[in-house]
Amino acid sequence: MRILATGLSGGIGAALQHRLAQRSDVELIALARKPDHAGARPFDVTWDIARLAAALKDVGQIDALVLLHGADILSPPLCQQSYWDRLDVLYQVDVLGSIKTVKAALEHLAPGGAIVVMGWDHADTGAPGDASELYATAKAALVGFAKSLATTLLDRASVYVIAPGWVMTRWAQSLSAEQQEQIRARTRAHRWQTPDEVAAVIESVLQLPPSALTGQVFYVNHGDVMPS
């Protein structure tokens, strides 16, 4: 299985990379905006569509496209920007960046292949605060795209959304023990998700029978919040 992926330098991406490194049947092709990421192809999802397509020209046939990139508006420097600038960067990276990357990679996807994009478990239930408003706007838009894409592609390829809750990644680790505890206490399951738990679900959806579950949103949050 050849998997083309963005965001492997992030918390969830690193966990997925670690899992897939144990598998002899998987070739992982990394796309990264920072050229220092080992073995990665240079790829910034904010590039225009022609440049993204050119960057993938010689990638060969792939069996899955896994998009783990995302704008981290909770950490510096983005957390210091205005509401409107954070909204814009989320749109450019999470929404437009994902749509453009899918369109640029689609011609390389084998019949019966899979596309995975990242949502957020509160995107369709809502949560208070500026960051929640911004993330929910971007992630709900991405879910709308993914569900429609699933119907466009039907038997040609499967499209899945992975929607984690609170995951112990870079931003979470930067919080004080007290802040981490406050968030943990707010969850129904009284726990943070680990990046590996999310990575395990991503690995699992790539093994699903083609098309049967296309268009689904998989909530990875131990039942913390579900849409009504």
Ligand X SMILES: NC(=O)c1ccc[n+]([C@@H]2O[C@H](COP(=O)([O-])OP(=O)(O)OC[C@H]3O[C@@H](n4cnc5c(N)ncnc54)[C@H](OP(=O)(O)O)[C@@H]3O)[C@@H](O)[C@H]2O)c1
Applying CB under 6 A, does 118 fall inside the site for ligand X?
A: yes
Stretch that binds ligand X, among 1-9, 149-157, 174-182, 200-208 (CB under 6 A): 1-9
Stretch that binds ligand X, among 10-18, 148-156, 180-188, 205-213 (CB under 6 A): 10-18
Applying CB under 6 A, does 7 fall inside the site for ligand X?
A: yes
Applying CB under 6 A, does 65 fall inside the site for ligand X?
A: no
Q: Which residues pair with 219 in a beta bridge?
A: 163
DSSP output for the chain: -EEEEE-TTSHHHHHHHHHHHT-TT-EEEEEESSTTSTTPEE--TTS-HHHHHHHTTT---EEEEEE-----TTSTTGGGS-HHHHHHHHIIIIIIHHHHHHHHHGGGEEEEEEEEEE--TTTTT--SSHHHHHHHHHHHHHHHHHHHHHHHHGGGEEEEEEEE-SB-SHHHHTS-HHHHHHHHHHSTTSSPBPHHHHHHHHHHHTTSPTTTTTT-EEEESTTS----
**Contacting residue, 3, 4, 5, 9, with ligand X by CB under 6 A:** 9
Applying CB under 6 A, does 33 fall inside the site for ligand X?
A: yes
Applying CB under 6 A, does 11 fall inside the site for ligand X?
A: yes
Applying CB under 6 A, does 158 fall inside the site for ligand X?
A: no
Nearest-CA neighbor of 161 among 118, 213, 205? 118
Choice between 46 and 211, CB closer to ligand X: 46
- In what order do the strands lie in the sheet containing 2-6? 41-42, 27-32, 2-6, 62-67, 109-118, 157-164, 217-220
**Contacting residue, 3, 4, 28, 93, with ligand X by CB under 6 A:** 93
Applying CB under 6 A, does 10 fall inside the site for ligand X?
A: yes
Applying CB under 6 A, does 72 fall inside the site for ligand X?
A: yes
Applying CB under 6 A, does 129 fall inside the site for ligand X?
A: no
Binders of ligand X: how many residues, by CB under 6 A?
A: 27
**Contacting residue, 28, 164, 196, 218, with ligand X by CB under 6 A:** 164
**CA–CA dist 73, 120 (Å, integer):** 14
**Contacting residue, 62, 104, 105, 120, with ligand X by CB under 6 A:** 120
Applying CB under 6 A, does 104 fall inside the site for ligand X?
A: no
Choice between 69 and 86, CB closer to ligand X: 69
Choice between 7 and 113, CB closer to ligand X: 7
Catalog residues that contact ligand X under the rule CB under 6 A: 6-7, 9-13, 33-34, 44-46, 68-72, 93-94, 97, 118, 120, 164, 166-167, 169-170
